[in-house]
C-alpha cells in the first residue's frame, strides 16, 4: 500500500502523542473527571426535566394512595426500587433527600423507613465519594480558608469529625461528601461514619413521615399548624436537641475549663 506524505505525517503525530508525557497526563486527568462529570450532568438533567417538582410534601399528599398501593403490591421489589431511587437522588446530590426520608417513614414506618433511608443514604454518598475521590484528588490546594479548616478536621480527627458533620447538618450533605473525598478520608472511615452519623436524623425524619401519613389518612391537610401536632412537634424537638447538643457540650467544656483556671 502506498503511503502519502499526509498519512505519514498523521502517523507521526499520533505516535508522538502516544509517547508525549504531557499529553498522556492530560488524558489521564480528563479521565479522572469522567465519573464526577457524569453525576453532574445527570443532576442537571434531572433538575432541567422537572424531577424536583415531585420532591415536595404536596406531591406526597397527592400521590399517597398510589404509592401505598405500589408498596402493598410490590413487596420486597417495592422496597428495592425505593432504595435504588433514594440512592440515585443522593448520588446526584439534588435537593430532596430529607423528603425521601419522610417518604420512607410514610411508606414503611419509622423503624424500617429509617433503615432503608440509612442504607440508601450511605450507598449514594459512597458513590459520590468514589467519583469525587478520583476527580478532586490533587485540587485541595485551590480551596479557600474555610475548606482548609474542614481539611484540618478530617486529617486530625477523621471519624469523630465526620460523625459531627453527619449528626449536625452544619454543611450540606453533598458538600461533606465532596470534602471528605477531596481531603483524602479513608473509605472505611467514610462509610462507617456516614452509616452511624445519619442514623439518628434518619429515624427522626422517618418518624415525622409516619406521622404525616397518619394525618393524611385521617383526612387532614399539611399546613403550618401541622408542625404543632404532637406526632410532628416531638420529633422536631428531638432534631433540635440533636443539633444543639454539640454546641451545649462545647459551652459546658469552655466554662468548666475557665472555672478550673480561676480556681
42 in a domain, yes or no? yes
pLDDT digits (tens, 9 = 90+) for 78-96: 999 999 999 999 999 988 7
What confidence score (pLDDT) does residue 217 get?
75
Say what the pLDDT of residue 33 is. 76
In a domain, 254, yes or no: yes
CA dist list (Å): 65 to 69, 72, 117, 199: 6, 10, 21, 27
Is residue 6 in some structural domain? no
Grid-cell match 471528605, residue found: 180
Decide: helix, strand or coil at residue 98: helix
| Structural domains of the chain, count | 1
The answer to whether residue 12 sits within a structural domain is: no
Among candidate residues 213, 195, 201, the one with its CA nearest the CA of residue 57: 213
> Residue 212: pLDDT above 90?
no
Q: What is the pLDDT of residue 5?
A: 52
For 130-181, the pLDDT digits (tens) are: 998 876 665 555 455 656 667 777 777 778 888 888 887 677 888 888 888 8
Q: DSSP 3-state helix, strand, coil percentages of the chain (rounded to 5)?
A: 85, 0, 15
Q: Is residue 2 part of a domain?
A: no
Residue 243 confidence (pLDDT) above 70: no
Confidence check: pLDDT of 6 > 50:
no
What pLDDT, on the 0 to 100 scale, is given for residue 184? 80
Cell reading at 35:
465519573
Domain-located, residue 15: no
- 200 part of a folded domain: yes
CB-side neighbour CA atoms (13 Å) of 114: 17
Question: What is the per-residue pLDDT across 97-124, written as a single tens digit (0 to 9) for each?
Answer: 888 999 999 999 999 999 999 999 999 9
**In the predicted model, is pLDDT for residue 71 greater than 90?**
yes
Domain containing residue 226: 32-262
Q: How far apart are CA 235 and CA 210, in angstroms?
A: 11
Mean pLDDT within 206-233: 71
Per-residue pLDDT, 66: 92
Mean pLDDT over each residue of the chain, to the nearest integer: 79
Contact in structure between 118 and 201 (CB atoms under 8 Å) = no
Residue 243 lies in a domain: yes
Model pLDDT for residues 21-70, shown as the tens digit of each residue: 555 555 555 677 788 889 999 999 999 999 888 888 888 888 888 999 99
Amino acid at each position: 500500500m502506498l503511503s502519502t506524505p499526509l498519512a505519514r505525517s498523521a502517523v507521526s503525530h499520533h505516535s508522538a502523542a502516544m509517547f508525549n508525557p504531557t499529553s498522556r497526563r492530560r488524558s489521564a486527568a480528563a479521565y479522572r473527571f469522567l465519573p464526577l462529570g457524569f453525576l453532574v450532568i445527570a443532576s442537571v438533567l434531572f433538575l432541567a426535566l422537572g424531577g424536583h417538582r415531585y420532591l415536595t410534601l404536596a406531591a406526597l399528599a397527592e400521590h399517597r394512595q398510589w404509592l401505598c398501593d405500589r408498596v402493598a403490591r410490590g413487596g420486597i421489589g417495592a422496597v428495592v426500587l425505593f432504595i435504588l431511587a433514594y440512592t440515585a437522588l443522593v448520588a446526584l446530590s439534588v435537593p430532596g433527600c430529607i423528603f425521601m426520608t419522610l417518604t420512607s417513614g410514610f411508606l414503611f414506618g419509622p423503624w424500617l423507613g429509617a433503615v432503608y433511608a440509612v442504607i440508601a443514604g450511605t450507598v449514594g454518598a459512597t458513590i459520590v465519594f468514589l467519583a469525587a475521590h478520583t476527580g478532586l484528588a490533587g485540587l485541595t490546594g485551590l480551596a479557600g480558608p474555610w475548606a482548609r479548616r474542614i481539611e484540618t478536621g478530617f486529617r486530625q480527627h477523621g471519624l469523630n469529625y465526620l460523625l459531627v458533620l453527619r449528626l449536625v447538618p452544619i454543611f450540606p450533605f453533598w458538600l461533606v461528601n465532596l470534602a471528605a473525598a477531596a481531603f483524602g478520608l479513608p473509605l472505611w472511615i467514610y462509610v462507617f461514619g456516614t452509616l452511624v452519623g445519619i442514623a439518628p436524623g434518619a429515624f427522626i425524619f422517618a418518624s415525622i413521615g409516619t406521622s404525616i401519613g397518619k394525618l393524611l389518612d385521617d383526612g387532614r391537610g399539611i399546613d403550618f399548624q401541622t408542625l404543632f401536632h404532637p406526632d410532628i412537634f416531638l420529633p422536631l424537638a428531638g432534631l433540635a436537641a440533636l443539633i444543639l447538643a454539640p454546641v451545649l457540650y462545647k459551652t459546658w467544656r469552655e466554662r468548666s475549663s475557665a472555672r478550673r483556671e480561676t480556681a
